[in-house]
Every structure is written in structure tokens, then in C-alpha cells.
């Protein structure tokens, strides 16, 4: 056989080799490394053949269920790095081992950002209680010195000014300045998009009175955390992060969506996503009680950044209610009427406010 025919044949055989595994092995439903559900085999329908949608579904299925997929991803990352690539799978490969989530200026939806802030402002007006907003810039915006050359991030300063304009009655600390203040320390994980316990503690200390009575000591929990931004690359050269906790009073009780939970889910030490040690992950409504005895209630509207912060808040309010609109099926306005909170706290990463579609629930 001629050499020019042999190479294409070998290429076809290489592509075909995984097909028996794909056809006769059960599909994986979840990737722990990537912390997401994987595409399942599509149903074969005549209309999909005609419309072209089947090809797209098959491509997604093949990409997600490819045998040895994690190994392939790691190998591609090694090759891309050798070729000088500094953006892989939506993560910037930054200085000092940082894997920073990509948030370009053109991807920031300013219209949606202001609209979602407006929904929060309307809730604030109806509740008629003091409100504070912790609007968190992404790690790339706080740590521009870690970015690869040429990487551009949305303007966190402009996002802060917009928030002041839409939420004039709320206290809104400048978290970029807070997180970059001296002494410098690791305020974001290198391998994950969340802030560290040290970053959350800085934000907590920037809150106005009556916040700030929490002791704020930090205790290491585990030292082998590989987070979501690293998972986009599976880079074998990465170093793990340390996850730390804030000691809380033994009197604090917690429940999520009506079921008892632990403030710290120590089983997370055996899971890939060790950030779920905080409250066991995301829930619609979390209720923390008993950290102090002042009879006050705090209502927190939040994303996952607040999970790390929440234990500190129990020192300031007897009841802390945490609502994540992505998972909450109830009516927030009704919850405000029933619970009569003494204060509101909004905790959101800025790009989440610029992309979230669940804030309209606040109008229900």
C-alpha cells in the first residue's frame, strides 16, 4: 500500500477506535472534574435528520462521552502550552499558577446588569430596611498583574459606579480596593473562580455596622483543592489550593430548603469540589440560627460566593436567611413580608449579575 494512502487510513482507524466504547458503554452523566452534567446520547428522530439538529447533538455527545476524555484534555493542554497558548477552555493561564476565568469587556451585558440591579433596588425599596451590596469583581479584574499579555477584562470600576447609580440607598464597598489592599494575600483561589476565606474575610470587615462582630480566624480544612477554572484545562502541572474555614459557635443550626444540614459539610474533603464544604453547596433557601441572641434577622440574596461568607454573618444576626434565586422556588417578596428582616445583604459576583436570568423572580 502506498504511503500517501496509509496515513489517511491510520487517521480513520484512530477516529473509529473509540466507537465500540461509545456505542456499548453506558454514558457518563456527570463530570466531577468539570462539575457539570454531560451530554447524553440523542434520540434518533426523522425530523432531526432533516433539520440538521442531530449533527449538533451528536457532536456534543461525542465530545462529552469520548473515552479517556479527561486524559485527552490534559494532553491537549500540555500541547497548547508548549505552543504558547495562554487561553484554554475559557480560562486564562496566568502568572504564579493562576487559572483565571475569562471575562472579556465585550461579553459583559451592561443592559442586563443594570436591569438586574434594578430588581434588587425594587426589593430594597419594598423591604424599607438598610441594604448593603457586596458586588465582587472577578479574579481577573482584581488581579490584573496575573493575566497573560493581551488579556482584557470588563471594567469593574464602571460596574461599581453603575451599581451606586441604581442602588443609591445601599452601602456598596469598593471590593477591588478592599481585596487589593495591603498586606497582599491570596484572596482568590488559583484554580477556582471563587474567593478564598481570606478574601471573604476582607469583604466582611468592609461591611458597615452592625456587621463585624465575628472573630474571623481562619482554620485550614484541606490542601488538595482543584477548582472549576483548572477543570477547564486539567493541566497536570497545576498546584492545588488550600480551603479554609471560619470557626462558628456550636449553637448555630442550619437547614436548607427545610432539611437539616451542617454549616460545614466535612464530607467535601472526599469530593472533587471541595468548595461545597460551605453549607454543602448551593440551595434555594438556607436558614442559619443561633449564632447570637439579638433577635435580628438578615436576608441575603446571593450566589455561591456568599456560601463562604455566611458563617461570619451568624455572629451579627440571630437568623440569617440565604436565598439563591437560581434554586429558590418560593416568592421572595412574600418571604420578606413573613420574616420581616432587619437588613438586606446582596452578595453577587459582577459578571453573574450581568448574565443571570433569575432576578426577574423578584417581581413575582
Residues 41 and 103 in one domain: no
- Alpha carbon 176 to its chain centroid, in Å, reads 18
Residues 178 and 41 in one domain: no
- Give the pLDDT confidence score for residue 96 in this predicted structure: 97
Residue 183 has pLDDT above 50, yes or no: yes
State which H helix or E strand residue 205 sits in: helix 197-205
Residue 43 has pLDDT above 90, yes or no: no
Residues 245 and 357 in one domain: yes
**Of 303, 338, 295, 340, which is closest to residue 319 (Cα–Cα)?**
295
Domain end call among 67, 82, 116 = 67
Residue 120 has pLDDT above 80, yes or no: yes
- Cα angle value 248/252/258 (rounded, 5°): 130
- Give the pLDDT confidence score for residue 6 in this predicted structure: 54
Segment 66-77 shows an average pLDDT of 70
Domain-located, residue 81 = no
**Of 257, 246, 256, which is closest to residue 220 (Cα–Cα)?**
246
Q: How confident is the model at residue 14 (pLDDT cuts 50, 70, 90)?
A: very low
Residues 259 and 348 in one domain: yes
CA atoms within 13 A on the CB side of 18: 13
- Give the pLDDT confidence score for residue 79 in this predicted structure: 87
Q: How confident is the model at residue 10 (pLDDT cuts 50, 70, 90)?
A: very low
Cell 420581616 sits at which residue?
340
Percent of the chain past pLDDT 70, that is, above it, reads 81
Residues 165 and 25 in one domain: no
Q: How confident is the model at residue 73 (pLDDT cuts 50, 70, 90)?
A: confident
- Give the pLDDT confidence score for residue 28 in this predicted structure: 57
* DSSP string of 303-316, one letter each residue: -THHHHHHHHHTTT
Percent of the chain past pLDDT 90, that is, above it, reads 74
- Report helix angle 69-82 to 53-65, nearest 10: 90
Segment 356-361 shows an average pLDDT of 96
Give the Å distances, CA to CA, from 34 to 31, 89, 230. 5, 11, 9
Q: What's the domain count of the chain? A: 2
Q: What is the pTM of this model?
A: 0.84
Structural domain including 239 reads 99-363
- Give the pLDDT confidence score for residue 48 in this predicted structure: 52
Residue 243 has pLDDT above 90, yes or no: yes
Q: Out of 60-74, 142-156, 216-230, pick the least confident.
A: 60-74
- Give the pLDDT confidence score for residue 274 in this predicted structure: 98
| Residue 280: Cβ within 10 Å count | 19
Cell 453547596 sits at which residue?
281
On whether the CB atoms of residues 214 and 309 are closer than 8 A, the answer is no
On whether the CB atoms of residues 346 and 309 are closer than 8 A, the answer is no
- Give the pLDDT confidence score for residue 12 in this predicted structure: 45
**Of 153, 157, 136, which is closest to residue 145 (Cα–Cα)?**
153
**Of 205, 228, 225, which is closest to residue 316 (Cα–Cα)?**
205
- Give the pLDDT confidence score for residue 49 in this predicted structure: 47
Residues 110 and 31 in one domain: no
Own/partner long-range contacts of 328-337 (Cβ < 8 Å, ≥24 apart): 328/284, 328/285, 328/361, 329/284, 330/284, 330/285, 331/364, 332/123, 332/301, 332/361, 332/362, 332/364, 333/123, 333/126, 333/362, 333/364, 335/285, 335/299, 336/123, 336/126, 336/127, 336/299
- Give the pLDDT confidence score for residue 38 in this predicted structure: 60
On whether the CB atoms of residues 27 and 20 are closer than 8 A, the answer is no
Domain-located, residue 58 = yes
Residue 52 has pLDDT above 80, yes or no: no
Amino acid at each position: 500500500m502506498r504511503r500517501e494512502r496509509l496515513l489517511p487510513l491510520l487517521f480513520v482507524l484512530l477516529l473509529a477506535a473509540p466507537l465500540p466504547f461509545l456505542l456499548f458503554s453506558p454514558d457518563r452523566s456527570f463530570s466531577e472534574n468539570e462539575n457539570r452534567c454531560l451530554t447524553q446520547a440523542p434520540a434518533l428522530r426523522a425530523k432531526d435528520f432533516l433539520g440538521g439538529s442531530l449533527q449538533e447533538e451528536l457532536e456534543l455527545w461525542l465530545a462529552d462521552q469520548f473515552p479517556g476524555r479527561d486524559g485527552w484534555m490534559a494532553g491537549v493542554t500540555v500541547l497548547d502550552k508548549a505552543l504558547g497558548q495562554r487561553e484554554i477552555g475559557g480560562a486564562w493561564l496566568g502568572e504564579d499558577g493562576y487559572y483565571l476565568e475569562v471575562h472579556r469587556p465585550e461579553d459583559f451585558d451592561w443592559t442586563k446588569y443594570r436591569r438586574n440591579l434594578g430588581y434588587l433596588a425594587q426589593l430594597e425599596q419594598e423591604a424599607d430596611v438598610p441594604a448593603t451590596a457586596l458586588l465582587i469583581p472577578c479574579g481577573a479584574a482584581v488581579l490584573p498583574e496575573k493575566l497573560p499579555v493581551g488579556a482584557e477584562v470588563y471594567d469593574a470600576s464602571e460596574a461599581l459606579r453603575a451599581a451606586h447609580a441604581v442602588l443609591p440607598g445601599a452601602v456598596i464597598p469598593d471590593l477591588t480596593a478592599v481585596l487589593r489592599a495591603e498586606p497582599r494575600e491570596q484572596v482568590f483561589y488559583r484554580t477556582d473562580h471563587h474567593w478564598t476565606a481570606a478574601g471573604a474575610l476582607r469583604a466582611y470587615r468592609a461591611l458597615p455596622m452592625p456587621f463585624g462582630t465575628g472573630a474571623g480566624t481562619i482554620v485550614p480544612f484541606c490542601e488538595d483543592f482543584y477548582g472549576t477554572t483548572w477543570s477547564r484545562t486539567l493541566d497536570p502541572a497545576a498546584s492545588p489550593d488550600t480551603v479554609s474555614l471560619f470557626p462558628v459557635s456550636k449553637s448555630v443550626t442550619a437547614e436548607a430548603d427545610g432539611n437539616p444540614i451542617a454549616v460545614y459539610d466535612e464530607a467535601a474533603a472526599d469530593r472533587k469540589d471541595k468548595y461545597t464544604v460551605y453549607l454543602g453547596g448551593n440551595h434555594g433557601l438556607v436558614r442559619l440560627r443561633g449564632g447570637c441572641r439579638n433577635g435580628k434577622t438578615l436576608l441575603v440574596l446571593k450566589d455561591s460566593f456568599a456560601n463562604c461568607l455566611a458563617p461570619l454573618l451568624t455572629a451579627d444576626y440571630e437568623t440569617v436567611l440565604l436565598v439563591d434565586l437560581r434554586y429558590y422556588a418560593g416568592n421572595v417578596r412574600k418571604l420578606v413580608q413573613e420574616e420581616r428582616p432587619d437588613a438586606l445583604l446582596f452578595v453577587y459576583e459582577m459578571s453573574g449579575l450581568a448574565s443571570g436570568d433569575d432576578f426577574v423572580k423578584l417581581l413575582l
